[in-house]
Amino acid sequence: MGQLEFQAIVLAAGKGTRLPEILEGRPKCLLPIGPFPMIWYPLQLLQRHGFTEVIVVVQESQKSEIQQRLERLQLKLKLDYYSIPTDSECGTADSLRLVSDKIKSDVVVLSCDSIIEVNLYPLLSKFREKDASIQLLLLESGKDLDVVMPGPKSKYKAEKDIIGYDKTTSKVLFMASASDFEETVKLSGHLLRENPEMTISSHLLDAHVYIMKKWVVEYLAVSELLSAVKGELLPHIIKKQLLQPPAVPENDGASEYTAIPKVDDIFQFAVYTEMDKMIDKASVFNKEEKNTSHPIRCYAYFADPKAFGLRIFEIFPGLTGFTERELVSQTSSIKSTQITKCAVGDMTTISEKTSLNQNVIANGCTVQPKTRINNSVLMDGVTVEETVVIDNCIVGEKAVIKSGSVLKNCIIGPHFVVAAGTKKESVYLSNADGFMTID
């Protein structure tokens, strides 16, 4: 249904600079999340909501690998790939600028790390009802405070957004990262006078799901100073909606201010055209009469807290549509009688006399007898020898954990061999230069 009046874009060109220990050069969007690569989840979400075509933005050097991986997943989508130079510093807004000439309608934009369980139809309906220029999906944060992240304890710091909004209308009035401020958040007097009942929250998380008017992408095409959607475009749009738009000449009679828009003059783009009228008339979504006066409007859609889960098996059945039994590949050999709440990929062998609980085990792994693995992720081709204990760890592809090792809260880099009898907690073990290794 959404395909009729929205185009879909998935941004998958991120370099994963915050995940070097896990990726080590691999495409971020192919990071295994449960039984599928990360990018599968936003694509499958779009497919479930009736989209049949999706624009996917990737890095040039990774395009072939990503394309081959997605072809094996047999999604019922036509994927149009657009690549950016690998050596360029392109942000999310830059990626949208790259495909701006392909955009013929309003758009739904998802990041490849948008792993969510949400009904998109109410978002699209609210977007039409509010006649929003841009709408972002927000969800409650802070639910993961009890989660222990693998790796060195000082390495990870949770990001926080500071978001100001009107509770009655859901209009977003202020947005910034908490890291932009030291102790005090300063707000303009004009903003507070115009919105005396504004709510400020640091417990909302931008889910990287955006619905945009076509003109927003057209504006990005000529506004090269805006590189990131969240950090630059959104704050820019929010500020502009607080400004008084220039008056349209009374004797003009045209829907645009001028025949040729001035570069970076956002009000020249934010116009209600004849095409907009036709879309509203034909829309399958909200039919309520619009009461909008300002041409630029940024709104939030607040997700139902029940729509999201944190622990693996609270979300995977909802995200994939599979039962717990279906999350274990039929091509794998599972001899263990003590395996609960685990997703297991293809051609993996799990021996008898093993205990596995709440794990994600990828393709081609081998788990030998007398081994206990809890709350961990094993990527492709991992070998775990006998009498090993692994608790809350991430193990990179083709790593080998030798017999008798005990690992807790650790990250093991790809191809690393953990020596027999190793006992480590909260460390990163890798072959990469500059990181801690085991002799």
The CA–CA distances, whole Å, from 311 to 201, 208, 255, 341 equal: 24, 20, 51, 11
pLDDT at 439 over 50: no
Cα–Cα distances in Å, from 44 out to 75, 76, 85, 379, 430?
Answer: 7, 9, 27, 21, 33
Which one has a higher pLDDT value, 13 or 327?
13
Nearest-angstrom CA–CA distance, 10 and 45: 11
The number of angstroms, rounded, from the C-alpha of 280 to the middle of its chain's C-alpha atoms is: 29
CATH number of the CATH domain containing 33: 3.90.550.10
Q: Which residues pair with 302 in a beta bridge?
A: 138
Q: What is the CATH number of the domain that holds 365?
A: 2.160.10
Please report which confidence band the pLDDT of residue 251 belongs to, taking 50, 70 and 90 as the band edges.
Answer: very low
At 149 the pLDDT is 67
Residue with tokens 């955009």: 103
Calculate mean pLDDT across residues 404-428.
Answer: 93
Note whether 418 and 349 are same-domain residues.
yes
Condensed to tens digits (0 to 9), the pLDDT of residues 56-75 reads 999 998 999 999 989 988 89
d(CA 220, CA 97): 6
Beta strands in 312-359, from DSSP E residues, in sequence order: 333-334, 338-340, 343-344, 349-350, 354-357
* Pairwise CA distance, residues 282 & 287, whole Å: 9
Q: Is residue 17 part of a domain?
A: yes
Residue 249: inside a domain, yes or no? no
Its domain, for residue 296, covers 6-179+189-244+269-285+292-318
pTM of this structure = 0.78
Is the confidence at residue 277, as pLDDT, over 70?
Answer: no
- Based on the fold, state whether residues 198 and 311 are members of the same structural domain: yes
pLDDT band at 117 (very low <50, low <70, confident <90, very high): confident
How far is the C-alpha of 302 from the C-alpha of 258, rounded, in Å? 37
372 with 234, same domain: the answer is: no
Asked whether residue 436 carries a pLDDT value surpassing 50, the answer given is no
Of the ranges 91-95, 246-250, 415-419, which one carries the lowest mean pLDDT score?
Answer: 246-250
Residues whose CB is less than 8 angstroms from the CB of residue 291 and which lie 6 or more positions away in sequence, other chains included: none
Mean pLDDT throughout 17-36? Answer: 70
Q: Among 2-6, 304-308, 413-417, whose mean pLDDT is lowest?
A: 304-308
Same domain, 231 and 148: yes
Residues 47, 289: Cα–Cα separation, whole Å: 30
What does the pLDDT look like over 407-418, one tens digit per residue? Answer: 999 989 888 999
Q: Does the pLDDT at position 2 exceed 60?
A: no
pLDDT at 424: 94
270, pLDDT greater than 70: yes
**Total of domains in the chain:** 2
Whether residue 328 is found in the same domain as residue 310: no
